[in-house]
Amino acid sequence: MAFFFQLPLLLLLAAAHGAAPVLGLTRSDFPPAFVFGAATSAYQYEGAVAEDGRSPSVWDTFTQAGKMSDKSTGDVAADGYHKYKDDVKLMVDTNLEAYRFSISWSRLIPNGRGAVNPKGLEYYNNLINELVQHGIQVHVMLSHLDFPQVLDDEYAGWLSPKIVGIKKCREDFTAFADVCFREFGDRVSYWTTIDEPNVSALGSYDNALFAPGRCSNPFGITNCTVGNSTVEPYIAAHNMILAHASATRLYREKYQAAQKGGVGINVYSSWSYPMTNSDVDVEAAKRYLDFVFGWILEPLVSGDYPDVMKKNVGSRLPSFTKSQSQVVKGAVDFIGINHYYSMYVNDRPLDKGTRDYSADMSLYQRASKTIPGSSKNVPSSSQSVASNDTLNDTERIEYLKSYMGSTLKAVRNGANVKGYFVWSFLDVFEFFAGPQSRYGLYRVDFNDEARPRQAKLSARWYSGFLKNNGSYVQNELDSTESRALQ
C-alpha cells in the first residue's frame, strides 16, 4: 500500500517538536519515481459558482448565508475556472511534477445524478489536457468537502444510505465516480475518492464549522436548527467509507485493467504524544490514534472499527454487515496522509451524559505542553502558527525543508511513501477563514477582481529544488531572498 504525503501549511513541525531543519536536502536524494506536487480543491479554487450550468453546492448555501466568520464566500475564490491556463504555466515555472485538484460534483452533474453538464465536462477535460501537455502528473479528488445542494435537500447528503451504492444498484456517489472514471481515466491514474472524511464528518455534522452546518446543543459552535451531534458524524463517516469502497470496487471491476490506475482515500492526521508517562496518558495517546486514524483506516484494513471506538461510542456507532465488511476490507490502493500538527493528550474520564465524538475520545488535547488542554476536537483552535500575506515567506520554506526531510527519512527507513504535495499551490478560499488564511506558494490578491498571482519566496525555492536536484537551491534561495528584500 502506497502513501502520498499531503501537507497543508498550518503549523511548523519544527516549532511544535523542536526538530532541526534538515540540511543538504536534494531532489536526487528521493527515488526517481517519487513525485513532488501541490494541490487545490474545486470550491476553494474555481469560483464561477453560477456559470456554465453549475448548480449550488452546500458550501454556496453555507457561505452565502453569512456562516463564515468574516462573511466571505467562495463565489469567485481564486477564479481558477477562468485562470487555469495561466496557473498551469505557473506550475511549469515551479517545475511541479504533479498537481492534485478536485472535481465539483455540482459543476459536472448539476442535478446530482443523470445528465452530465457539457461545459463542466469541457472545463475538466481542458484542465487535464493542459496538465498532460506540460508533463504534469494528474491526481484527481472526487469529493473535497463540497456536495450538491440538490442532493442534500433531497436526503441530507452523507447521512443517507442512498449516497452509497454498496449493493448491485449504483447509487449517486458511485454513479458520479463512474462518470469521472469514464471521461477522464485515460489521462488520470491516481484517484482519491474523499478528502478527510474524519474531519468532514465532524465539521459538517458535529460542530457545524463546515457546510451544511448541522449540529445539536451544546456541541456546535453556533445554535444549529437541524442536526444531532451525538450520532450524525458517525453515520456520515460510515456512509463515506461505504461510498469509497463502492467506487473502488467499480474502478477495479470496470476500469483498472485498461487504465492501470489506483484508488485511494485521504485522511486527516495528527500524531499524539502522552502529556505524561502515566499509564492512563499513554493509553489516551493510543486512543487518540484509534479515533483519528482508526476511525477511517481500520475498516479498510480489517473490515471493522477499532475496539475502543465500539466500546466508547456503543450503539451510536454504525455496524458493518458481513457483506459490507468484505467489500470495505482492502478497498484502497493508496492512502493520502494530510498532516497538520501533532497533539499532546491527557486522559479524561468518560462522561456519563450525552456525548459527541470529542467526548467519546475521553481525553484532553493541546497543540503544545504550554497551551491549556481542551476536550473539543476543533482543528482551528490549534492553528497557532497562522499563514501570512508576505512574499518573503521564509517560515514556510523552513517548514517545507523540515517535512520533506522527515519524509526522506521515512523513505530510507522503508516506508512506502510515493509523493509529497504542498497545500496549497496558491492562496485559495480556506474553509476555516475564507481568503484571510494564506497558505499558497503563490499569493493571490483577493481585493483585485483580476485575482493576480505573485510568486512567494517559497514558490521560487520549491522551483529551484525541483529544477536543480538541490545542487544550487541554497544559492538561488539567497539570491531570490535578496531580490525580494530590495
Catalytic residues: 196
Contact 120, 104 (CB under 8 A): yes
78, 80, 388, 425, 446 from 450: Cα distances, Å = 9, 11, 21, 18, 8
Residue whose cell numbers read 490549534:
382
Take residue 40 and report the three cell numbers written for it.
487545490
d(C-alpha 306, C-alpha 358), whole Å: 16
d(C-alpha 161, C-alpha 155), whole Å: 9
Q: How many helices (H) and strands (E) are present in the chain, helices listed first?
A: 19, 13
Q: Tell me the torsion sign for CA atoms 95, 417, 13, 309.
A: positive
d(C-alpha 313, C-alpha 258), whole Å: 43
- What single string gives the DSSP state of each residue in 266-334? EEEE--EEESSSSHHHHHHHHHHHIIIIIHHHHHHHHSS--HHHHHHHGGGS----HHHHHHHTT--SE
